Amino acid sequence: MPDALRQRVALMAAALWWGSLTTIGFLVVPMLFAQMGSPPVAGAMAAKLFSAQTWGTLALGLLLLMTLQPNEPDTRMERSSLAIGLVALGMLLALLVEFAISPRIVSARSTGGDLRLWHGLGSAMYFGQWACSLALFWRLSRIPSSD
């Protein structure tokens, strides 16, 4: 794949990743809780949305990992390594929320466990994904200097 096309695909994937995290986490889920009469119903719907977001993150992450690999080793490798690290960290956080935190939130709701702790940890990890996607999107959308 030509470098220009790889850069465009990577930029579009990063934009979609950041935009989907932003839309679901900062717009749709708060609206669910504000508009639905029952917090448990809103919470169940939010859990489904966050799960779908996890799978979207993994798909976009794989696409990003494929497009961020440099064709030839050169000075861009340092920049590629940081970008790949951001993607890998975002994917790891998504997997941790999906398979380690979400089950504990569900369990805490039904057993009276420490819901605040698990919800806070899940929110922090979601924000971490958002920060990774923003940093990647920012890096990929840089305008090259004309030096």
Neighbours of 30 (CB within 10 A): 12
Q: How many domains does the chain have?
A: 1
What's the pLDDT at 76? 54
How is residue 69 written in tokens?
């690999």
Whether 55 is covered by a domain: the verdict is yes
Whether 97 is covered by a domain: the verdict is yes
Whether 147 is covered by a domain: the verdict is no
Angle at 97 between CA 24 and CA 21, to 5 degrees: 20
Whether 78 is covered by a domain: the verdict is yes
Whether 46 is covered by a domain: the verdict is yes
Whether 146 is covered by a domain: the verdict is no
What's the pLDDT at 113? 83
Decide if 94 contacts 57 (C-beta within 8 A).
yes
Nearest to 118 by CA among 100, 105, 103, 128: 105
Q: What is the largest CA-CA distance in the chain?
A: 62
Q: What is the pLDDT along the chain (147 residues), one digit of tens a residue?
A: 788 898 899 999 999 999 999 999 999 999 999 999 899 899 999 999 999 999 999 999 999 999 998 766 654 555 688 999 999 999 999 999 999 999 999 898 888 889 899 999 999 999 999 999 999 999 999 877 655
What's the pLDDT at 73? 63
Whether 93 is covered by a domain: the verdict is yes
User: Where in the sequence is the domain holding 84, given as residue range(s)?
Assistant: 3-140
Question: Residue 134 is which amino acid?
Answer: L
Whether 145 is covered by a domain: the verdict is no
What's the pLDDT at 142? 85
